[in-house]
Amino acid sequence: MLFLCVVCMPYSLSIKDLFFTWSKKSDFALHIPDWKVKTTEKVFLYGRSGEGKSTLLNLISGIQSRYTGNIQVLGQDMSELSQTQKDTFRANNIGIIFQQFNLLPYLSAEQNILLAQRFKNTKNTQQSDQLASICERLELNSHLLKQKSIELSVGQQQRVAVARALYGSPELIIADEPTSALDTQTREKFIHLLLDCAQSSTVIFVSHDMSLASHFDQQLGLAQLQLRRSETDVI
């Protein structure tokens, strides 16, 4: 059976000898010798603009596929999956919060939250209760949920994007610069809300804002990550 569930899996993410470049002529290259993220760990990943943070997230989530090395997400070797299988795996196991939120403008807030469920290979029998619980914690009332996402404020769109990522209780949540358009007070509130709602999930949060790093279990620079060697390589 595809997508086996691993009991007491110690790592949500395991990367070994990852190498990615856009082409042989490209100046950009991403090389991560060894990186592991423990189950339910909250990781803050930082780096300069253009350094490859978003590219790394796309590789982890299966959106980008051309690489050498090994990426295991929730015990699944991503190279063993077809692109269609990666899409299904992502829908079933990964919640993503994009920098620009990526809401469909003319769908309602609720429809945007439920959108990923169409790609899942299992049905959640407690969808209504779970949706109500998430929306209550995120202060998304029934009136707001009926509004088109284009009619919402930036803060409301952000909460809808978080609800979409949390819905279905994904084991891994990836957040790509989701606070870049927010002021300091709103950023702090957002971080507390996200981590409170995602206590049972592993979180990889990418940002250049170092003021947020202290909220996370692990703080790691992408440049530092690319210099890492596996413990087995160290004599």
List per-block mean pLDDT (blocks of 10 residues) for the chain, which spans 235 residues.
54 96 86 96 92 93 92 96 92 89 92 81 63 88 95 89 90 90 80 89 93 93 79 43
- What pLDDT was estimated at residue 230? 45
Q: Which fold has domain 32-230?
A: Rossmann fold (3.40.50)
Q: What is the per-residue pLDDT for 119? A: 67
Give the pTM: 0.85
End-to-end CA distance of the chain: 40
Please report the pLDDT score of residue 123 as a whole number: 55
Residue 232 is predicted with a pLDDT of 40
pLDDT score at 126: 54
pLDDT score of 1: 42
pLDDT of residue 99: 81
